[in-house]
Every structure is written in structure tokens, then in C-alpha cells.
């Protein structure tokens, strides 16, 4: 775990649409984690500066004004911050992200994002993730070491990141023969959980290649066996694609709060912390999905190279020790 500073400074730049607004109105519009009254109090306490000077609620802001907000006694939830460096050269670093840490900041985590952890470890503020993994998913992620490298390769990432293969643990006996799932997905505006992806004819085409690797016939947590270890290869890269495809096929990933049990544990988590009894029903504290292998082809290489990460979450790692992969 990486310790979080007790005092943290949050910087932002005034957007064009907020030109000639009061500073208070601008802060309230952009940063809704504080109420209007709370922002008024913080401004009165001198915790906000504009262009290096103490700011007041009635200041009129201009485009590109720099606003700095100081937070004393800062805390945020603990997350795993260890990672492994699988490959590194002058332009890229391929690292293994632990399950349970977000790539970018969330409503409660600003300091110990995985991007922040990697930047501090490499002492390089330009380290940029070239793709994303869900907070609860561990495994391989490619970072560019400079903004220039990121800009040159981001739009054509598929030319260097050729294949991405995941391992997932699902309840039941997955079909033995491998198959291609081409189920279109999109959000359902009528769903209580707006974040979920659903199979819909008007969705974006999503293609995943599935292959069963093993079957295990013993319980996980309070879940009875059997379980299957499934290899999933992304052909397209839509949001939650593997998770949504597996859930729609009747094989939700063990520990997936969003797509198993109709999302009731995701909804509960928004209200209160989940209990150990809840995790027992889910089968794991983190969903058992891991970005396992990638095939890279950098422009200055003579041949493609496979890379692999086996730094699974503790529960998934303990389970897979019994399986020959």
C-alpha cells in the first residue's frame, strides 16, 4: 500500500463554457462532491486559490485560469498499489495491474489511482495508459512513457497491441468447444443500473472468442461447484465486453458485483460496504477476471512478442494453483 498525503492539492483549469462565471458557480458546476454551501465555506477558509492568489466566491473567472483547492486531513480508501514491470524500453512499459485499484480517479480515489502509482514509481508524470482495465480486473496494461508516444500510437493501438487474452472463472460447465460470441451490447436507459451493458439489437457489435481451459468440481466461498476456467480473447474492445457476454450466456464471472445476482451487490455497495457474508455469496472479493496475455508488435521489432502476467488476485491465484494452464 502507498501512503496517502494528509494534505493534497487538486488543480483544475477553467473551461471555456465557464468564462465570466463566478468562481463559486464554476466550482459547483464541475465538482459536485461538495454542496454549494460547502464550497462557500472552503472559499471563506482560504482553501482555494486562483492563479496563485487567495480566491473569493465572487471572483469572475477567465478561460484557462488555474484553480488550486487544498484539502487538509485527506483520506481515501486503501487499494493495492504493488505492480510488476513485465517489459520496458525507451517508449513503453508493460505492467501488471493488481485487481482492486482504478486506472483513473473516481469519486473517492484521487491519489492512489493506478496511473498515479505508476507515474510516481517511474518518476515520470507523462506515463499514459494506452487502454483501460476495470478497477476490479487485474493484469497487463501498456503505458506510453511520453505524451508524444501516446499521441503517435493511441489512434492505431491495434497495430501494436495485436491480441489481448483474459482468464475468467465462471460457475457451471462452460461449453467444451471454443466459439465466437458476436452479441451487440449497449446500455439500457430503462435499467436501474445505468452502467450495465446489455445485449440489444441496436447495440454496438462486440466480438469475443471463448475457449474452456479447465473444469473444477469444488466450492468457491458459498458457491457450489462445478466451475470453469475460461479463456476470452477480445476482438473488439467495448466497455465490460467480456463480463457482459459471459453474463448474457449464463456464466457470470465469480465475484462480479455488477453482472452476477442481477447487480444487487453493486447497488448495495453504493449504499454501504459489503460484508464478508456478501463476499461469500459472490465467491470472491474481486471478480475473477485477469488480463493474462498480450501479443505486442512495436515498430522497431523484427517479430511479434507474447507477454504474460500471472499476478492474479489472491483468491483467483489460490484457485488457479490447482489448474494446469
Q: What is the pLDDT of residues 52-70, one digit of tens each?
A: 999 999 999 999 999 999 9
Ranges of H-type helices in 172-262: 241-248
Residue 324 has pLDDT above 90, yes or no: no
For residues 74 and 6, is the Cβ–Cβ distance under 8 A? yes
- pLDDT, position 1: 52
Across 161-179, average pLDDT: 96
Consecutive H or E run containing 118: helix 114-122
Average pLDDT, integer, range 123-131: 96
How does pLDDT run across 182-211, given as a tens digit for each residue?
999 999 988 899 899 999 999 999 999 999
Q: How far apart are CA 99 and CA 76, in angstroms?
A: 17
Average pLDDT rounded to a whole number, residues 40-50: 95
267-288 confidence digits (pLDDT tens): 999 889 999 999 999 999 999 9
Q: Of 4-13, 15-24, 275-284, 289-298, which gets the smallest average pLDDT?
A: 4-13
Predicted local distance difference test score (pLDDT) of residue 223: 87
Instruction: Enumerate the β-bridge partners of residue 54.
Output: 49
- Residue 4 has a pLDDT of 87
Which of the four pLDDT bands, split at 50, 70 and 90, describes residue 220?
A: confident
Whether 325 shows a pLDDT value over 90: the answer reads no
Which domains are seen in the chain, by residue range?
7-72 (3.10.290.10), 77-158 (3.30.2350.10), 160-325 (3.30.2350.10)
Specify whether the CB–CB gap between 246 and 170 falls below 8 A: yes
Q: How far is CA 6 from the centre of its chain?
A: 25
What would the mean pLDDT of 221-225 be, rounded to a whole number? 85
* Averaged pLDDT score across all residues of the chain: 93
Which percentage of the chain shows pLDDT scores above 70? 99
Q: Which residues pair with residue 38 across a beta bridge?
A: none
| pLDDT at residue 2, rounded to an integer | 65
CA dist 233 and 158 (Å) reads 14
Over 80: is that where the pLDDT of 179 sits? yes
**Could you tell me the pLDDT band of residue 105, with boundaries at 50, 70 and 90?**
confident
Count CB neighbours of 279 within 10 A. Answer: 18
**pLDDT for residue 323:** 81
With vertex at residue 194, the alpha carbon angle to CA 100 and CA 281, rounded to the nearest 5 degrees, is 50
CB distance 163 to 233 below 8 Å:
yes
Q: Where residue 127 falls among pLDDT bands split at 50, 70, 90?
A: very high
% of the chain at pLDDT higher than 90 = 82
Which residues in 135-164 are b (16+ Cβ under 10 Å) and which e? Answer: bbbbbbbbbbbeeebbeebeeeeeebbebb
Dump pLDDT digits (tens) for 236-246.
999 999 999 99
The C-alpha cell that represents 179 in the structure block: 466459439
Strands (E), 51-121: 53-54, 66-72, 84-88, 92-97
Amino acid at each position: 500500500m502507498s501512503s496517502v498525503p494528509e494534505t493534497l492539492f487538486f488543480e483544475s483549469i477553467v473551461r471555456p463554457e465557464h468564462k465570466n462565471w463566478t468562481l463559486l458557480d464554476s466550482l459547483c458546476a464541475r465538482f459536485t462532491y461538495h454542496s454549494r454551501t460547502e464550497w462557500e465555506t472552503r472559499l471563506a477558509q482560504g482553501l482555494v486559490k486562483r492563479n496563485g492568489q487567495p480566491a473569493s466566491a465572487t471572483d469572475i473567472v477567465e478561460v484557462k485560469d488555474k484553480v488550486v483547492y487544498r484539502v487538509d486531513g485527506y483520506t481515501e480508501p486503501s487499494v493495492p498499489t504493488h505492480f510488476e514491470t513485465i517489459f520496458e524500453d525507451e517508449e513503453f512499459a508493460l505492467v501488471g495491474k493488481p485487481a482492486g485499484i482504478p486506472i483513473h480517479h473516481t469519486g473517492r480515489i484521487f491519489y492512489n489511482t493506478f496511473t498515479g502509482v505508476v507515474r510516481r514509481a517511474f518518476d515520470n508524470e507523462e506515463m499514459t495508459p494506452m487502454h483501460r482495465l476495470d478497477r476490479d480486473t487485474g493484469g497487463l496494461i501498456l503505458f506510453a512513457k511520453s505524451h508524444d508516444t501516446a499521441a503517435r500510437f493511441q489512434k492505431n493501438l491495434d497495430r501494436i497491441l495485436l491480441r489481448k487474452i483474459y482468464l475468467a472463472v465462471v460457475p457451471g460447465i462452460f461449453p467444451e468447444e471454443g466459439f465466437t460470441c458476436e452479441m451487440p451490447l449497449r446500455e439500457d436507459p430503462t435499467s436501474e443500473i445505468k452502467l450495465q451493458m446489455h445485449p440489444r439489437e441496436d447495440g454496438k457489435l462486440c466480438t469475443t472468442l471463448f475457449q474452456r481451459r479447465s473444469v473444477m468440481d469444488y466450492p468457491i466461498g458459498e458457491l457450489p461447484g462445478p466451475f470453469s476456467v475460461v479463456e476470452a480473447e477480445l476482438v473488439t474492445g467495448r466497455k465490460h465486453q467480456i463480463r457482459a457476454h459471459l453474463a448474457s450466456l449464463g456464466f457470470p464471472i465469480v465475484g462480479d458485483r455488477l453482472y452476477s445476482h442481477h447487480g444487487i451487490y453493486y447497488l448495495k455497495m453504493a449504499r454501504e460496504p459489503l460484508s464478508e457474508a456478501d463476499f461469500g455469496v459472490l465467491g470472491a472479493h474481486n471478480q475473477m477476471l485477469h488480463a493474462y496475455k498480450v501479443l505486442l508488435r512495436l515498430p522497431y521489432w523484427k517479430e511479434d512478442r507474447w507477454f504474460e502476467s500471472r499476478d492474479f488476485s489472491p483468491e483467483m491465484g489460490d484457485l488457479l494453483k490447482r489448474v494446469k494452464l
